[in-house]
Amino acid sequence: MNIAALIVAGSAYFIFFKDRDDFIYLFATGLVILMITYVFQFQMDQIITRGVPQKLSPPMRQMLMTTAPYFSSMAPVQQQMVEDRMRRWIDKKDFVNKNEQDAPEDVKYILAYYAILLTMHQKSFMYDGIDRVAFYHHPFLSPAIPEDVHIAEVEPVDGTIIVSVPHLLKGYLEKGYYNIALHVIAESFAQLYMPDAINWPDDIWEQLEEISSISKGKLEAYIGLPLLDPWPVAVHHQLMYRDAQIPEVLEVFPQFKNAVEIIHP
């Protein structure tokens, strides 16, 4: 793309300042190449890097090694796959800061880690259709839900995940806080990769409360929205509580059947 830009700039100089009309074809060719490389930049990057595993930066990898027991317990080849998929997932998402303050890079990688963690058993991992992530630094109102202040939302029409950064970091780094990063990724997974609804038992919310000692009402008050589907909460509890054995979750995520003792912090 840089070469095409130089061609456009150089030929434009000769056309407009030196009256060299013979450079028009070179200018047009460079402009077309520049437009193509800009539009298809992501696809071209994927072709160039295909077969070459992408690695996390040392700080981000160290963050996972110290905060994600499941990742640190993986064999090196599995860690390499997770790192590669995380980088590709991040590269394709559009991250938007809704405040003047930028979100820490850690937040992007926390979301990417859970996105890849839930798709390790399948080929599809890009969550195409959920392409934007919006960061607030406080509870927020959204166009889809303008009545209630909340801290996490997945907006399927616009394909957007919206989260409050402080609440996301607390849920990931501090014990006793609900992990909204895992919640929104589990909800996104269901929307994109689970066409059939789960037939939950009638007492599923009571079962989830027994695992966590947190009632549905308390979770709704914390998130700021009614919880209509047990799925994201069930995924959260399966990964965050040592003794959790939720068949509906383990059926979808076979990679956790023999690893429930090391997923949680």
Q: Residue 68's pLDDT is what?
A: 93
- Percent of the chain scored above 70 by pLDDT? 78
Q: Residue 47's pLDDT is what?
A: 44
pLDDT in tens, 49-80: 456 789 999 999 999 999 999 999 899 999 99
In the structure, what pLDDT confidence band is assigned to residue 235 with cuts at 50, 70 and 90?
very high
Q: What are the C-alpha distances in Å from 10 to residues 17, 19, 29, 164? A: 11, 13, 12, 47
Radius of gyration of the chain (CA): 23
With a CB cutoff of 8 Å and minimum separation 6, the contacts of 247 are none
In the structure, what pLDDT confidence band is assigned to residue 14 with cuts at 50, 70 and 90?
low
Q: Residue 262's pLDDT is what?
A: 52
pLDDT in tens, 83-118: 999 999 999 999 999 877 788 899 999 999 999 999
Structure tokens at 9: 């700039």
In the structure, what pLDDT confidence band is assigned to residue 256 with cuts at 50, 70 and 90?
confident
Q: How many of the other CB atoms lie within 10 Å of CB of 80? A: 14
Q: If you average pLDDT over residues 207-214, what whole number do you get?
A: 96
Q: Residue 100's pLDDT is what?
A: 75
pLDDT in tens, 145-193: 999 999 999 999 999 999 999 999 999 999 889 999 999 999 999 999 9
Q: What is the mean pLDDT of the chain?
A: 85
pLDDT in tens, 181-206: 999 999 999 999 999 999 999 999 99
3-class SS string, the chain:
CHHHHHHHHHHHHHHHHCCCHHHHHHHHHHHHHHHHHHHCHHHHHHHHHCCCCCCCCHHHHHHHHHHCHHHHCCCHHHHHHHHHHHHHHHHHCEEEECCCCCCCHHHHHHHHHHHHHCCCCCCCCCCCCCCEEEEECCCECCCCCCCCCECEEEECCCCEEEEEHHHHHHHHHCCCCCCHHHHHHHHHHHHHHCCCCCCCCCCHHHHHHHHHCCCHHHHHHHHCCCCCCCHHHHHHHHHHCCCCCCHHHHHHCHHHCCCCCCCCC
Q: How many of the other CB atoms lie within 10 Å of CB of 69? A: 16
Q: Residue 255's pLDDT is what?
A: 79
The DSSP bridge pattern shows strands 132-136 and 160-164 to be parallel
User: 198 near 231, Cβ under 8 Å?
Assistant: yes
Rounded to whole angstroms, how far apart are CA atoms 125 and 115? 7
User: In 3D, which of 3, 64, 70, 13 has the Cα closest to residue 37?
Assistant: 3
Q: If you average pLDDT over residues 36-59, what whole number do you get?
A: 63
Considering 18-22, 108-112, 141-145, the range whose residues carry the highest mean pLDDT is: 108-112
Q: Which residue has the higher pLDDT, 234 or 10?
A: 234
Q: Which residue has the higher pLDDT, 100 or 227?
A: 227
